Chains A and B, each alone.
Chain A
Amino acid sequence: MLKYVIRRLLLVIPTLFFVALITFVLAQAAPGSPFDKNETKPLPVATIERLNRFYGLDRPVYEQFVVFLGNAVRLDFGVSLQRDRSVNDIIGQGLPRTAQLGVMALFVALAVAIPLGVVSALKQNSAIDYASVFLSTIGTTIPSFVLAIVFIYFFGVLLKLLPFVGWGDGLDRRMIMPTVILALGPMAFLTRITLASMLEAIRQDYVRTARSKGLGEQVVIVTHVLKNALIPVATVLGPAAAALVTGSFIIETIFSVPGVGREYIRSILARDYPIIMGTTMLYAAVIVIANLTVDLVYGMLDPRIKVA
């Protein structure tokens, strides 16, 4: 088990290396210097040269990459090109909010998706079944920013029920809409998976065996069906985490949540490469770790998978 964990952890390194390489190469491919943004009032050439020297942009590309990697290993992503702050500082400030948003959304998604998927599998063609089909269709097809717009229009503008700008500390009414909207996509996806794997598990021979033992329907469902049906659900939590990450920067931008996602979009529009690099590495790390965790949990849930 330990060996497996170590081997998987070691595989994370090349993956993150390639993510860094790709991002770095692409950032390098971008034409022009980050300091020539202001076209009407260009900086004096001497200033640009000084800035380039300061940020190490005058050195050969491979050297820059080595320096970047060396620093990245020490979790140092440098200084923002536009704002006089370190990347770590900017990310560090946004991270708790983004993490809170992500965790709350994941929790909401699971708390709705699993019961909904289970009940609609048990009560096929009932109102709940149709509700879950409706929810999963909407959640998987309509883009989150469109859902956000519709929610803002109804609950914020028309009904004036919920605020839709900003975030807060602890728990705040402003968190409701971003969390719910961010949760909808993974929720829909997880509902679909839960429903499908419940329907698959419920028609297995061992369920009939369980019934033939005289077990009550509830015991059959909980110990025999659910335990099998949730294994596929656990395996998609990795992709669900990825969906939350990509969803978060759209949602944070729309609802003005001061998190990493909004910084990411801001830095992209400003071509502030150190921040882009830092946040990309962060996102990739989150996804790699989520996938790794899911694999390990999968090994624990399903005795047929030999983790050794």
Chain B
Amino acid sequence: MTTASRAVSTQERAAVLNVIHRQQRSLWIDAWERLRRNRFAMAGLVVVIVACVLAALAPLIAPYDPVAQDTPANNSSPFWEQGQYWDPRYVLGADQLGRDILSRLIWSARISIVIGFVPTAIVFSIGILVGMVAGFYGGIVDNLLMRLTDVVYAFPDLLFVIIIVTSLRATPIGEFLGGLILIFIALAVVSWVGVARLTRGQVLSLKEKEFVEAARAIGAGPGHIMRRHLLPNALAPLIVTAAFSVPSAMLAEAVLSFLGIGIRPPTPTWGVMINDGFVVFSTTPWPVLLPSICISIVMLSFTFLGDGLRDALDPRMKL
């Protein structure tokens, strides 16, 4: 045990000993390295960042007011079709009410991003809290949670969301911010149970581990154990789930708006735009196809990012 042998780097010693050596790094840096090597995930991340920037700067970037109607220019075609209905002011054309499609697409990103992140944040705060308590203490909370999940699992998410939204649409909550708040609530009510159940499962398996026993042995309180030991170790699958929950919330909004029970027109969202244009879809397809493309790109990006995060954080997780 000489100081000299301590002085050489781990790497050199490993080389001397001829054993395989990987540099020791924290789990998170390691995960980031793995994520960075995943080209699809990085492309997804870039798109997500761009979408966020567009959403944040929508009022500055969008060339026109997304709800302003320029009736003479209605149904003008996008620049690649030009022809007699082309209006050079509207790059991607205008819809049947003469609203600039480009501006509407940009403003829609704003709603989508908000819809994607806000309910996810709410859902995870509630779900993690309840799941931790249920998993850690068991008892009534745990029983209630399990029964509740049984019921919620018999209800397809979307069906549940639709019923909540339909019932409360005509209330003041339903009308607030064009229905945005109601969608937040509906998504949160439906999804927190799944997160709670996931957290509960993690906590159940973690709390038997030696390091939790050790923490308990040195007198750590339940709050400390939950915060410092259980949560950090349960975080990886939760982050992955969150990465998938963002696009599924966006999808829910798009479906609701497409069906006519989501965000109220004239507030533009991609779902609303598709709904608006769907009646005349066979004659003027672009007002419908363009938002469809936007949704697809954003959904794909989130999925790639989610897949990448899963592979990077928790390779054992399936699907």
Contacts and interface: CB of A to CB of B under 8 A. Distances in A.
A27 B318 CA distance: 38
A287 B160 CA distance: 13
B28 interface: no
A67 B169 CA distance: 26
A157 B286 CA distance: 12
A246 B171 CA distance: 25
Given A141-B247, A145-B255, A250-B255, A245 B159 contact: yes
B254 to A, nearest CB: 6
Contacts of B302: 141
Given A137-B303, A250-B255, A269-B261, A30 B168 contact: yes
Contacts of A250: 255, 258-259
Interface in A122-144: 137, 140-143
Contact of A192 (B150, B151, B295, B319): B319
A270 to B, nearest CB: 10
Contacts of A141: 247, 296, 299-300, 302-303
Interface string A251-287: 0010000000000010011010000100010011001
Nearest to B261: A268
A265 B259 contact: yes
B84 interface: no
Contacts of B251: 143
B181 interface: no
A276 B154 CA distance: 16
Interface string B154-171: 111111101110111111
Interface of B is mostly: helix
Contacts of B225: none
Interface residues of B, number: 43
Contacts of B156: 242-243, 245-246, 283, 287
Interface in A7-47: 11, 15-16, 18-19, 22-23, 26-27, 29-32
Nearest to B171: A31
A283 B159 contact: yes
A287 B303 CA distance: 26
Interface in A193-249: 193, 196, 242-243, 245-246
A245 B168 CA distance: 23
A121 to B, nearest CB: 14
Contacts of A245: 156, 159
Contacts of A11: 150
Given A26-B164, A27-B167, A149 B155 contact: no
A22 B167 contact: no
A275 to B, nearest CB: 12
B88 interface: no
Contacts of B159: 245-246, 280, 283-284
Interface string A153-164: 100110000000
Nearest to A289: B154
Interface of A: 11, 15-16, 18-19, 22-23, 26-27, 29-32, 137, 140-143, 145-146, 149-150, 152-153, 156-157, 192-193, 196, 242-243, 245-246, 250, 253, 265, 268-269, 271, 276, 280, 283-284, 287-288, 291
Given A19-B151, A27-B163, A291-B153, 14 more contacts: A18-B151, A30-B169, A137-B300, A143-B299, A146-B254, A149-B281, A152-B281, A157-B285, A265-B259, A269-B259, A271-B166, A280-B159, A283-B159, A284-B155
Interface of B: 150-151, 153-160, 162-164, 166-171, 247, 251, 254-255, 258-261, 274, 278, 281-282, 285, 288-289, 292, 295-296, 299-300, 302-303, 318-319
